Structure formats: C-alpha cells, structure tokens
Structure 1
Amino acid sequence: MNKMIIHGNTRLSGEVTIGGAKNSTVAIIPAAILADTPVQLDMVPDILDVHNLMLILKRMNVTSEFVDGVLTIDPTHIIEGNLPSKAIKSLRASYYFMGALLGRFHRAVVSFPGGDNIGPRPIDQHIKAFKALGAKVEDEHGTVKISTGEDGLHGANIFLDVVSVGATINSVLAAVKADGVTVIHNAAREPEIIDIVTFLNNMGAKIRGAGTNVIRITGVPSLRATNTHTIIPDRIEAGTYLSMAAAVGDGIKINNVIPEHLESFIAKLTEMGVKLNIAEDSIYVPRNDDLKGVSVKTTPYPGFATDLQQPITPLLLKAQGESIVIDTIYPKRIKHVIQLKKMGANIRVDDRNRILIKHTDHLTGQHIEAGEIRAGAAEVIAGLMAHGTTVISKANNILRGYDNIIGKLTNLNAKVELMNDDKDKS
C-alpha cells in the first residue's frame, strides 16, 4: 500500500491530458474473452484495476501485454479455471466476468466481487438477467455459480427494476452470443455503455439502442476483432481535473475531453460561477475566485454522476454560502467527509445523509485516508488547497482509478509524491 504526500497551497497551471475511461476499460477487458481472435485496445488507462484484471486473465490462460497505453489480449487459448479471489475482491468490476464467462462457456464461478465500500451495491439485477436468459444461479458462501442446461442461453425480455450500469453491461455480455433476440428494458444510458457496445459491434455483434433505455441484442455465434478499439476519454477524470482547476488553478487546459459527456457537471460549475472556455475536445479553466454555493443531486446519466459528487466537494468549500450534496445513487458515499473535517472543512452529514457544506477559508494539511477512489480524489484536491503537508494513506485506492496522477499533477506544478507506507508492510 502507498501513501501520497501533498505539499499544498500552490497554484497550478499548464495542461493535462485525460486518459481512457476507467468505467469502459474495466468492462471491455472481461468482454474481450468473448472474442475468437486477439483483441487490441488503445488509450487504456494505466491504473491498478487494469493490472488486476490482467492477473485474472492470466489465470484463464489468456495472455495480455500492456505497453504505452495499448493493451493486447489473446483469448484464443482460454481455459476455464478458478479465478484468483484476491484480484476478484480488489475491484467490483470483476463481476463482468460473470456475464462474459457465461457467454463464452455457458457457466461461470466467480467469488463475490469487492472494490469500493460505498454502501450497498447488490447484484440482484444481474442475477435476474442471467436467470431470464436461461441460467441457474447459486450463491455458495460468497461464490456465485452460474450454469445453463444443454440448450445454453436463449434470448429474453429483461426488465431491470432499477437503472444499473453493471446489470446493463452484464446482460449485454451474457446475451451477445445467446440464441435469439434479447431486449433489455430500463437500461442504463452512460457513454461507457455505448463504448462497450461499439467494441462488441465492431467484432460482429448485433446490438442496437445503446445510449437509450431499451437495448436490443440479436445473438451471434462468433465475435472476431479486426481493428484496434480506442477507449473513450474518462469523463470522471475530466470532471475531477475541472474541479481541481477551478479550486487551485491559475489557468489550466484539460485536453481529450468530450464536453457532451459532462453537460450536467459543467452546468453545475457554471451555476457556481466557474468560468470555462469550452472547445471541441478541450476545456480551459482560468483562475476562479468568486463562487457561490449550489445544491448537487446525483441521478443516473445524463444527470450528475455519483462519481463526481466527491471531487466537486472541495471546490464547494470555496463557495460563499451553503451547498448541499444529495447522492441518490449511493447515499452512504460519504467517506470523504470525516477526512475533510480533519483538515478544517466546515462540512457535515445530516440524518438524511445529505452533505452540508459551508464556506471554509482555511484548510490545514493532515494525515488522512483514502477510503475509496473518488473519496481519495476529493482529498487530493483538498490537499492541494490546504496550507502545509497532507499525507493520504491507502493511496492505492486513488491509483485504482486515476491514470498517472502523480505525473499529471507534477506537470501542473503540484508538489506531490508517492511513497511506500511502511505501516502497511506488516
């Protein structure tokens, strides 16, 4: 485990380039095992989740090579095997192997996935979808066993009770080779789902409706990659740097951005009074000082993303008046609050899980902890804002989701470094 050390109260400037979307990548890598040919992915972020997924692939005799943002995966000699529980439990996206293995072998055995502890994130909608497609699902002490009969998977109407990105993707992965037509109703609409469907369609899948709430899949017998797939830019990383630039920037240009993917976030920044110069694939953020408090409410895409409510929180501390953050997706996503309070932030959670934020003139560097990816991102921004030195333990949680964050921050003139946390070696 690593710790991140930030020497704060320094204005940042320059340019930063956003990497490929984590939330696309961690689904496309499992999806690659559905192919009957090697697969090549470009603009893959260099994050811990990618390396853990590569470990899982290795256990299935799937070779992978990751060089300069290009990940090559060869599933042509794939075998069924017990997946490494440590890697499975390190990231929640490992549950995409359920749908991918079910589509490839008509059975899967996967330990219950781990990842960020941000409150209940049940997989009941995934299980419901697998059963609709003809699978039998058993849960044996945290290990999920999924299998089909001799007839394999068949097309079905799948009605998701709640909008779920994970359940939508797993349904697609399981259905893409199923016999017949599958229709997913109340599907999630995130850009990452469109990216994954584009990847599959380019290999010969027949999927329509991605980006809408109804996705229609006609099963195909085989998937074959013929071109390199380029991952879309990471809108959550982009939003994080936008918040950082507005909080501590003296003029920062953020490159490789799709502004349309950030419309709800940009609208909220504009409401606060943040000045933005938006181009086709970049956003320039000049220095911003006079900001006002706003109310933020997370909802499914195209609403305000739950993954961005924590990164915007330190910026809200600069705003005059009170701000309120309500996370309707994960109401318990509040791990950053106690850490920011340690630094002197005027912030609290009320009995309805609303985060209440008041203007704070002064933050002081402290020893704090990154409880999960986006909480860690909020703490990085707060550390850059603070006077003195901030030490963030469990920094590996940040490295799970942010590509080359130390290098990118250093290029913006931040004083930041990564070190081994000796306390975690025992």
Structure 2
Amino acid sequence: MTQKLMPAPKSEKSRARFLIEGGTRLQGEIAVSGSKNSSLPILAAALLASSGQCVLHNVPRISDTELMCQMLESLGASVHRENDAVVIDASNLSTHVAPDGLVRAMRASFYVAAPLLARLHKAEVPLPGGCVLGPRPVNYHIDAFTAMGAEIQIEHGAMIATAPRWEGAKIYLEPKNSSVGTTVNIMMSACLAKGTTTIENAAREPEVL
C-alpha cells in the first residue's frame, strides 16, 4: 500500500489529503490506544462508587485524561496509574465543589456534576464557558437534573445544585439535543436514582452504547 500526501488544489491550499493506492496485502499487529471519549466519562463515573476501587485499563496518557484524574483528586478521590491502568478509590470524597480552573480547561469536566448530585445530593460545578449570555451549552444537562429532583441555581458562572430527592424520570431529548454528554450525564444520574429512568432520543455513539 502506498500512502502519498498530495498537495491540495489552489482553492484548498490549507487542506492536506491522503491518496491511498491499495492492492497490497496488509499484515502485522498494532496496539490500539484506548478511546479518550470513552475514558473521560468512565473516569467521572468512578465517583459513583462509595466503596472499593475502580480499575480502568487502557486509558490513554493524554492531557484530557490527566486533567480528569486531577479533577477526581481535587474532589477527594485517590487516583494513581499502574502501567496502562488508572486505579480510583472514591470512598472518601471531601467536597462537592469542582475547581473552576479544571472545568474551564476541559469541557468534559462537567461530567462530574451527575455523580456528585447522585451520590452527595449536592454539586457546585462551573459552567464550561463561564457567564455566557444566551443559551448555555449545558442547559439540557440542567433540565435533566431538574427532572430528577435537583434544585438548581446559576450564580457567578457556576451551577449550584442540591437534590433533596433523586428519582428516576422520563426524559425526552430533542433530536438536535441528544448529545453524548447529555446522555452520559443522565445515565450516571440514573445509577443511584430511585426508580427507573428512561431517555428518549438518547445519543447512540460508541461511547454511549
């Protein structure tokens, strides 16, 4: 197989493209790195466990996963690596407040909102993007948390939530709003909710399925 990097047409100078010429048998082995998009919500979901360790294998060593590990540690979880695995013990969480800097550094940090609410019945998590006028990018998460019993206020660019009750709910996502992030946060919320949670129009990406 020949792989050539071809110059782009003049009208597309900023774009590079690969031209693949097949016909040659491929053989050999390659180690496939773990998925970042799967690793981040699973790391956050470890906060749901009130006892014992969660061991996640094949977690890629990239800045986003390292930031999520820092986020878990900031909440009181014990986190360390053993070769390709990340070992998390969230038995003794010390706070429900997520650090502003980490959330703003990585949008996926908002994944910690659901396990904090589900387990501690309170969460204070900065909004990705801060005090932005107009529709917020996490409105659909907030609507879902509210449907499950949370009482939420937005103050100084942060979601401040308490959950005096935490119950399953039937949640309908508009097709345009059935994002992976919203679906994953609802799934984590449902793990410790009383009763059944049904998500209509849930995202169907691999990291959800």
Q: Give the TM interval when normalised to the shorter protein.
A: 0.7 to 0.9
Is it true that 1:155 corresponds to 2:197 in the alignment?
A: no
Letter in 2 for 1:82: V
Q: Distance in 1 between matches of 2:29 and 2:193?
A: 46
Moved over 6 A (4+): none
In the other structure, the counterpart of 1:165 is 180
Matched residue SS, 1:146: strand
How far the C-alpha of 1:121 sits from its partner, in A, is 7.3
In the other structure, the counterpart of 1:141 is 156
How far the C-alpha of 1:17 sits from its partner, in A, is 3.0
How far the C-alpha of 1:173 sits from its partner, in A, is 0.9
In the other structure, the counterpart of 1:185 is 200
Matched residue SS, 2:81: strand
How far the C-alpha of 1:16 sits from its partner, in A, is 4.8
The structure with the largest alpha-carbon Rg is 1
How far the C-alpha of 1:43 sits from its partner, in A, is 0.4
Matched residue SS, 1:19: coil
Name structure 1 gaps, 5 residues minimum: 1-13, 115-119, 195-426
In the other structure, the counterpart of 1:49 is 64
Is it true that 1:21 corresponds to 2:35 in the alignment?
A: yes
Matched residue SS, 1:89: helix
Cα offsets for 1:96-125 (capped at 9, x unmatched): 1111111111111001125xxxxx971111
In the other structure, the counterpart of 2:139 is 124
Name structure 2 gaps, 5 residues minimum: 1-27, 130-134
Is it true that 1:30 corresponds to 2:44 in the alignment?
A: yes
Asked whether the 8 Å contact 1:164–1:188 carries over to 2, the reply is yes
Q: Distance in 1 between matches of 2:99 and 2:173?
A: 30
Letter in 2 for 1:153: W
Matched residue SS, 2:56: strand
Asked whether the 8 Å contact 1:59–1:81 carries over to 2, the reply is no
Matched residue SS, 1:102: helix
After superposition, where does 1:268-307 map in structure 2 within 5 Å? none
Provide TM-score, normalisation by structure 1.
Answer: 0.39
Provide TM-score, normalisation by structure 2.
Answer: 0.78
In the other structure, the counterpart of 1:250 is none
Matched residue SS, 1:128: helix
After superposition, where does 1:415-426 map in structure 2 within 5 Å? none
Matched residue SS, 1:192: coil
Please report the RMSD computed on the Cα atoms of aligned residues, expressed in angstroms.
1.7
Name the count of aligned residue pairs.
174
Matched-pair identity in %: 38
Higher relative contact order (CA 8 A, sep 6+): 1
In the other structure, the counterpart of 2:10 is none
